[in-house]
Structure 1
Amino acid sequence: MAKITKFRKNSAAIREGEWIKPGEEYDDLEILTRGFTDEYLDAQAQKLRRAAASWHGQDRIPVKIKRDINTELLLRYVILDVRNLQHGDGTAVTLEQFKQMLLDPDYDELLLACYRAASQVGQVRQGDLEEAVGN
């Protein structure tokens, strides 16, 4: 029988943020990120409506414009900090440097890591934690 805890997400983490490892391919990179909050989604909808008016329909907005909108909002509403990321000389990448990298097409993999991390916030459900403790 299904337990209700399987369907509960951590909405506080989505609003306030949590440290997320976006995946094994990113080594031990961790991103302090919020989830896609209502504030983010409302801002996205507003910006896309404005762009749609300029381009005579949402389906006519160029991909680059959509990507720029989503990246701007990700930086404003979602990404809070980064750790375990270094430059080639071993110095830590600061949050401001990280955000600048996310605007550079050469660092699309880091941008993807941010989207992956944001989509994972709040997904560790209480039922999963109970099951892990049992193991």
Structure 2
Amino acid sequence: MQQDICGPVLPVLTVNSVEEAIAFINKQEKALCVYAYSSDSQVISRLMSETSSGSFCANDSVLQSLMVALPFGGVGSSGMGSYHGRHSFDTFSHRKACLLRGTRFECVTYLRYPPYEDRNLSLMTWASSLSQKSQGWCQIM
């Protein structure tokens, strides 16, 4: 129980209460997955909501790995990212943000470029104050 297990060995620990199980799980480093077995849905719900792990699996240990629609990955020292199917593609892809602006309104936006004349500066200050007021108005709505 000192390192991640990447093999066919699965330690099974017994506890006397769900509180003891939650305390034990939370005392350790974040697990790659928490597997809980219980016929009591409240126990499952508590374990799922009161512990943190890369994923959570109730009453099964194989089906989760076969479902490519579910992401699988860790948090903290157990790893980062999500894998399986589309989630693997998204993890290893970079979504590049692109802003494309035409020059159609350059007759108005030219004011932001030097040389700054007094008239241009006062127009930009006025436009900036309108922008700040409209942002405040949007937040109120």
Q: What TM-score bracket applies, with the shorter chain setting the length?
A: under 0.3
Higher relative contact order (CA 8 A, sep 6+): 1
Specify the structure having the higher radius of gyration (Cα): 2
TM-score by length of 1: 0.19
Query: Which structure shows the higher helix fraction?
Result: 1
TM-score for the superposition, normalised by structure 2: 0.19
